[in-house]
Amino acid sequence: MTLIGEILQMFHDDEFNSIFKQMSNSFMNLDDVFEMLKNAGNVTGPIFYGYTMTTGPDGKPVVNEYGNVKPDMLPTEEKREPLIDTLVDEKEKTLKIVAEMPGVEKSDVNVVVGVDRVIHIDAERGEKKYHVKVPINHKVESGSPKATYKNGILELVFKLEDEKSNGTTVNVL
């Protein structure tokens, strides 16, 4: 390996070590949160917290928190935050958002794409309650969303807006 390769590998290792150290600290704080919840006695429903880690388009790790409890906080609501994955396919020019929501039926799922470019996903069936807001960080065609729900997996697919269609060309005479 070249010197530059070794330096890049050290930087990459340091970046991952930093991320995992932060994650470990959060989980250590959660022990205190769970102890506090046990003593409070008035909290019902599932309590969960975690991280998802993916690789961004630039090759760097992207870490997101999820759950209805955060370190040093009581649960924010009784609804679960489904695990979300956002996939951009530049070749097909699509944005796919996948939400894992087991235990509910297709008729229980409600999806609203807000004018603020935030998707609101809600589902409820018996004890299973889900809610999440997912920001859309890409320009998408307004009439393009298509949704499917099968075996606890919601898939939303949007067509990415063609960058060339931004505005009108004016010929100068």
Instruction: Tell me the per-residue pLDDT of 27-53, one tens digit each, with 9 for 90 and over.
Output: 556 566 666 656 665 555 666 667 777
Give me the chain's average pLDDT, please. Answer: 75
What the chain holds in terms of domains, given with CATH numbers, is 1-78 (no CATH), 79-163 (2.60.40.790)
In this prediction, what percent of the chain has a pLDDT beyond 70? 59
What is the number of other CB atoms lying within 10 angstroms of the CB of residue 49?
20
Q: Is the pTM of this model over 0.85?
A: no
pLDDT band (50, 70, 90) for residue 155: very high
| pLDDT at 170 > cutoff 70 | no
